[in-house]
Amino acid sequence: MTAKSKKPQRVNIKNKRALHDYFIVDQLTAGIVLTGTEVKSIRAGKAGLVDTYCYIRDGEMWVKNMYVAEYAFGSFNRHDLRRDRKLLLNRREIRNWAAETKTPGLTIVPLRLYINEDGLAKLDIGLCRGKKEYDKRHSLKDKEARREVERITKGHRYA
């Protein structure tokens, strides 16, 4: 018998609302401080970034309101579903982004949660500026136009 090796399932949890509501000015990738059951839930894809944001307190960056479901096979050591979680960044990066967020209209928003090749949970965060209502309508119009072009060109083959 030959045993088939399973490829690890890629975890890629996106914050679609952030892409709709914000212009992304700058991006960083940060590690997250997690407990064991939180890591297992994230690997199972049971996490969410809806209504999350990041803040800086005492020279450290934290993510607030990130949902990580309870691990089904966890014991008495269960984690809080929406606790504040510390992000792992360099002091220089935190200082730069703290200075940037002092300007009105800029905020730090989590964009994507994933497991990298080394098996570590990573969070892509973005320095974002809010969109106005007309900007959102314009983005939707562009998206629909791109879809229409793809639909039309999908049936044609180029030789």
Residue 5 domain flag: no
> Does a structural domain hold residue 139?
no
How many angstroms separate the CA atoms of 67 and 142, rounded?
A: 31
pLDDT tens by residue, 97-129: 999 999 898 999 999 999 999 889 999 999 999
Number of domains, the chain: 1
pLDDT in tens, 49-85: 999 999 999 999 999 999 998 887 776 677 778 889 9
Look at residue 125 and tell me if it is in a domain.
Answer: yes
* CA–CA gap between residue 124 and residue 54 (Å, rounded): 11
Q: Is the confidence at residue 32, as pLDDT, over 80?
A: yes
Residue 57 in any domain: the answer is: yes
Instruction: Evaluate whether residue 140 is within a structural domain.
Output: no
CATH assignment of the domain containing 82: 2.40.280.10
CA separation (Å) from 57 to 1, 63, 69, 87?
Answer: 56, 11, 25, 11
Closest CA relative to residue 111, chosen from 4, 6, 12: 12
Residue 158 lies in a domain: no
- Residue 152 domain flag: no
Parallel, antiparallel, or unpaired: how do β-strands 85-88 and 60-64 relate? antiparallel
Can you give the pLDDT at residue 158?
58
pLDDT for residue 63 = 95
- What confidence category does residue 6 fall into, taking pLDDT thresholds of 50, 70 and 90? low
Determine the structural domain holding residue 27 and report its residue range: 12-131
Going by C-alpha positions, the residue among 18, 84, 76, 29 that lies closest to residue 56 is 84
* Total Cβ atoms within 10 A of residue 126: 22
Domain-located, residue 1: no
pLDDT band at 1 (very low <50, low <70, confident <90, very high): very low
Helix (H/G/I), strand (E/B), else coil: 75: coil
